[in-house]
Chains A and B, each alone.
Chain A
Amino acid sequence: MQKHNQKEHLYKLLVIGDLGVGKTSIIKRYVHQNFSPHYRATIGVDFALKVLNWDAETVVRLQLWDIAGQERFGNMTRVYYREAMGAFIVFDVTRPATFEAVTKWKEDLDSKLVLPNGKPVPTVLLANKCDQGIDVLMNNGIKMDQFCKENGFVGWFETSAKENININEASRCLVKHIIASESDPVQSVEPDIIKPHLNSSKIVSCSACFKS
């Protein structure tokens, strides 16, 4: 059914973050449109494939690599990171320690993986389980924007795999940045200037994508 002039992109995306933050749930929600509180722990890596009709001329195929969260496996992740084009780093808003680990995950990622142009891969930060951590981040919007800027995230979202909040949006944001970084190999996208959105609702809180 594909038109002849249609472009197809294949992107490998990593989904990383501490154990039990909901990486698998986010992917299941995104790809299979469902949620279960009973997923099994991921050992090693799991896979999923999502096809997006990006626009009239572009089809985007996302290869999602769902990587086990235990720090101990750090040694093995290099193999999994290879040739990825973008990443989500996930933490659980109800467990502060998982947020502490975010910078570690980001450093680990950047140390093991760069784009062909030498730049770090576009990475979006996901504050998951926002349906449970009521208002944990609400007043920290500016702080989060600052955090993203300092740590080189292209944006952040409050997400809930359970309630299906912001997952599609987060993915679009990441893909947008990947496409931009691809089409402009020399200078990648200007890091988004963070606009505070004090009264932002939960539904849209990507500093990067919302400003346009």
Chain B
Amino acid sequence: PAALPPAPLGFTDVNLNSRNTYEVSRRRSAPEHLPHGGGGTAPAAPAPPPQEPPERARHRLGIAGAGSSFAEFFTRNFFTKRTKELKPAVQSAPGWKLFGKVPPRENLPKDSKIIQQEYEARTGRMYKPPAPSARRKNIEFEPLSTTALILEDRPANLPAKSVEEALRHRQEYDEMVAEAKKREIKEAHKRKKIMRERFKQEENIASAMVIWVNEILPNWEGMRATRRVRELWWQGLPPSVRGKVWSLAVGNELNITPELYEIFLSRAKERWKSFSETSSENDTEDAGASVADREASLELIKLDISRTFPSLYIFQKGGPYHDLLHSVLGAYTCYRPDVGYVQGMSFIAAVLILNLEEADAFIAFANLLNKPCQLAFFRVDHSMMLKYFAAFEVFFEENLPKLFLHFKSYSLTPDIYLIDWIFTLYSKSLPLDLACRVWDVFCRDGEEFLFRTGLGILRLYEDILLQMDFIHIAQFLTKLPEDITSEKLFSCIAAIQMQNSNKKWAQVFASLMKDNKEGDKNHSPAPKN
């Protein structure tokens, strides 16, 4: 498909590369970037109306997976992307009368970002496909306005340009036009290339989906461990089967049924009711209540729910998934009062809710948290956590010796950055679509992959990190760049060898468990073999 007409171009953009779409939407949905009720072109809130049943919302949002392209963003993204293409023609800032295209000014004080965003949206709309041919014309460089600036004679009250000067201006002008044309051609090539890649990507996803649905899922147990399936799995699960594959891979050792979920949910609801009846005045008297009770309390979960993916707006009060998240977490605290609610859980439950039906999400959640690594962390079993860190450091030193020493020199231990990564399974630190891809392989490879991913991140940024001091590394790793791409990250993860003198992760970990029996309290020095 050499020259795609503009409309499908925008369309594919949204559908195929949901990753980028998501990225864009995520950044754009940040509250400070939202036009306050202003620009009619940009939808004010990305979330669907609260009264919409979650089921429908899920479909509409296309949340089944890869990071969910919101329907609303469809338009927004479409416009911004297109404006980008047109940039050379419309690059001039809004408000320049010179060009005769002045977007109507609004009186609200706005920051420049909002202004630009609105302007882009608006111009995007103005260029909204009249017809492919007309659009083509728009892209072509139109020198009229510039002519006005450069080639015009001077006003009558000034001395006229000399011949040389006029000539020079003419020449400069020609050069500018030529330069702009060159740039335009180059960008067109780039665009074409990107489109080709996206198209290919879409085909891949589509064909992978067919394989997953028709071949793999019906023969799950027989095929899941085959080389072909494992390789396909590594490429990332198609959004439409992602939840299903996660569920199957996580399994249901705990034999939880949807009915059981309902029972725990109603128990949780009863507790909340009695909690809100005895309410806050008695708070002080209750201060002596056990820690677990306090932690399971409504308040704690409530506080965290609205702080879970706040930029998506769907888990916050009034958002379509708020109650769902509340239910899943509440039911879990009743199901496992010994674990209770621990910060970080809300992120995991949220990702599952985005990919699975409510009861299935709960089942996957409970089983996922029952894995040894997750249980160690969510029970905050510190000595076990230190063993995980120690195992991580064995592979850290093996794979990235230079960076390992650099960190050592600042006593920068994994508790600084790994806690957040492991507790939320990267869903807080990586862009959501990328986190889902990490989850894909985590479901395939188990806990080992969580630590491998961590090393992949360190490898990806090794050169930058080597230049930084303690506080900057700590800041960097606890707030990773937002433009991290799956291609780059996964090629770095692939380059991480989970072998240490012929020992694999599980063996290294097991030997640490043995070794550390005596020196339990020692702080995570990695034993050398």
Contact = CB atoms under 8 A, between A and B. Distances in A.
Interface residues of B, number: 45
Contacts of A47: 471, 474-475, 478
Interface stretch (A69-77, A116-124, A126-134, A183-191): A69-77
A100 B284 contact: yes
B310 A39 contact: yes
B342 A72 contact: yes
Given A19-B303, A97-B283, A63 B471 contact: yes
Interface stretch (B72-80, B416-424, B491-499): B416-424
Nearest to A69: B343
Interface string B289-312: 001001100011001100111110
Interface in B254-293: 280, 283-284, 287, 291
B343 A38 contact: no
Interface string B491-515: 0000000000000000000000000
A41 interface: yes
Residue of B283, B303, B342 with most chain A CB atoms under a 10 A cut-off: B303
A43 B479 contact: no
Interface in B468-490: 471-472, 474-475, 478-479
A63 B308 CA distance: 26
B428 A79 contact: no
B380 A72 contact: yes
A41 B413 contact: no
A8 interface: no
Contacts of A80: 415
Contacts of B307: 20, 38-41
Interface string A29-61: 000001011111111111111000000000000
A93 interface: no
A68 B343 contact: yes
A20 to B, nearest CB: 4
B478 A45 contact: yes
B349 to A, nearest CB: 13
Interface string A76-113: 10011000000000000001110010000000000000
Contacts of A40: 307-310, 428
Contacts of B347: 43
Given A49-B471, A97-B284, A100-B287, A38 B310 contact: yes
Interface residues of A, number: 32
Contacts of A38: 30-31, 307, 310-311, 316
A48 B475 contact: yes
Interface string B340-371: 10111011000000000000000000000000
Contacts of B344: 41, 43
Q: Is the interface of B mostly helix, strand, loop or mixed?
A: helix
Contacts of A43: 343-344, 347, 419-420, 423-424, 428
Contacts, number: 98
Given A41-B343, A70-B342, A46 B479 contact: yes
Nearest to B303: A20
Residue of B295, B299, B316, B380 with most chain A CB atoms under a 10 A cut-off: B380
A70 B283 contact: no
Given A19-B300, A36-B31, A45 B416 contact: yes
Nearest to A71: B291
A75 B382 contact: yes
B55 interface: no
Given A19-B300, A36-B32, A38-B31, A70 B309 contact: no
Nearest to B300: A19
A76 to B, nearest CB: 6
Given A36-B31, A76-B415, A41 B346 contact: yes
Interface string B14-50: 0000000000000000111000000000000000000
Contacts of B523: 79
Nearest to B411: A82
Contacts of A41: 303-304, 307-308, 343-344, 346
Interface string A124-161: 00000000000000000000000000000000000000
A94 B284 CA distance: 13
B308 A49 contact: no
A76 B471 contact: no
A75 B343 contact: no
A96 B279 CA distance: 12
A70 B311 CA distance: 23
A47 B340 CA distance: 27
Interface of B: 30-32, 280, 283-284, 287, 291, 294-295, 299-300, 303-304, 307-311, 316, 340, 342-344, 346-347, 380, 382, 385, 413, 415-417, 419-420, 423-424, 428, 471-472, 474-475, 478-479, 523
16 contacts: A19-B303, A20-B303, A38-B310, A40-B310, A41-B303, A45-B478, A46-B478, A47-B478, A63-B471, A70-B295, A72-B342, A76-B415, A97-B283, A97-B284, A97-B287, A100-B284
